[in-house]
């Protein structure tokens, strides 16, 4: 028994799981995930609604994007569609000023994600003029979500799973590198991208099993508000997985893959004063 306890203790020390939980606690992971969900619902969703409504391929609008992401089908999908579908003339009634405001709000969402990544990797916040990174990331995010929905009816089975996995890994791998200004090596960011995609797959399965019946129940009990609460809960899960995946990636890189020297030279000359290595998140 003593040898078993000693062996378990050594395994715990080798895994260094405590450090992983410490990273999550320091980042206030759940608080960050709730902020992610709030910003996504208030700032990102309206922008995606406009983009989806302008879809020349007419693939069902934003409701189709959302039901596909949550893995919904049948009655739950119809309930969600009735709540989130915008008016048919949403594009015609959206002024240029409104579109600009939506884009600005979307960039603010990108800034929030960038700030979280910087804290996860212990890097100083980038200057305000790097807002172009957030805007570019937002455009690529929209394109990524679009292709996920666009392939729903054209690619099926294992082919779609493979395509979604590859595109997801590439997006979250590139997204961290780009938002961090190239301060962290590609190799160091790969575990986080893989963990994020695996986590999102698990969240999709959980959503199919739990949120599918819950949406119908909440719609009957609380109306549209109940449906929105379920969507908000799912978005909290998305934020938890995205930030949690990045935290896992840093932990795995530091303790099990490449213990040191996983920062590159900065991409921009203005980043020369950034720290050369990761520090504990502030």
The 10s digit of each residue's pLDDT in 72-122 is 878 888 888 877 765 555 555 555 666 677 777 788 899 999 999 999 998
pTM for this prediction: 0.79
Residue 179 has a pLDDT of 93
Asked whether residue 258 is assigned to any structural domain, the reply reads yes
Q: pLDDT > 90: what percent of the chain? A: 28
Higher-pLDDT residue of 136 and 50 is 136
Q: What is the mean pLDDT of the chain?
A: 78
- Model confidence over 187-212: pLDDT tens digits? 999 999 999 999 999 999 999 888 88
Domain range holding 84?
A: 26-271
Query: Residues 37-84: pLDDT tens digits?
Result: 998 888 887 777 777 666 655 555 677 778 888 888 788 888 888 777
Domain assignment present for 6: no
126 domain-assigned? yes
How many structural domains is the chain composed of?
A: 1
- Rounded mean pLDDT, 213-232: 85
- Residue 72: φ, ψ to 5°: -90, 155
Distances from the Cα of 169 to the Cα of 20, 126, 141, 239, 248, angstroms:
21, 24, 13, 16, 15
| Mean predicted confidence (pLDDT) in 15-44 | 81
């Amino acid at each position: 028994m003593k040898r078993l306890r000693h062996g378990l203790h050594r395994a715990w020390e080798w895994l260094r799981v405590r450090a992983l939980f410490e990273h999550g606690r320091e980042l206030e992971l759940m608080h960050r995930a709730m902020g992610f969900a709030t910003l996504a619902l208030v700032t990102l969703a309206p922008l995606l609604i406009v983009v989806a409504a302008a879809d020349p391929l007419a693939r069902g609008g934003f409701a189709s994007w959302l039901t596909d992401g949550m893995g919904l089908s049948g009655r739950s999908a119809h309930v969600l569609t009735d709540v989130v579908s915008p008016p048919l003339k949403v594009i015609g009634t959206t002024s240029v000023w409104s579109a600009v405001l939506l884009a600005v709000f979307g960039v603010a969402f990108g800034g929030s994600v960038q700030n979280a990544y910087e804290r996860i990797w212990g890097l100083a916040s980038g200057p305000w003029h790097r807002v172009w990174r957030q805007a570019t990331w937002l455009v690529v995010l929209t394109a990524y979500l679009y292709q996920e929905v666009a392939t729903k009816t054209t690619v099926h089975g294992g082919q779609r799973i493979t395509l979604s996995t590859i595109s997801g890994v590439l997006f979250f791998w590139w997204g961290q590198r780009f938002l961090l200004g190239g301060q962290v090596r590609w190799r160091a960011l790969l575990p986080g991208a893989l963990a994020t995609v695996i986590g999102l797959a698990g969240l999709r399965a959980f959503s199919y099993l739990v949120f599918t019946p819950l949406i119908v129940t909440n719609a009957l009990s609380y109306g549209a508000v109940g449906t929105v609460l379920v969507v908000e809960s799912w978005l909290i899960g998305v934020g938890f997985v995205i930030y949690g995946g990045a935290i896992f990636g840093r932990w795995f890189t530091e303790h099990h893959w490449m213990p040191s020297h996983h920062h590159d030279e900065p991409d921009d000359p203005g980043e020369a004063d950034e720290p050369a290595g990761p520090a504990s998140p502030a």
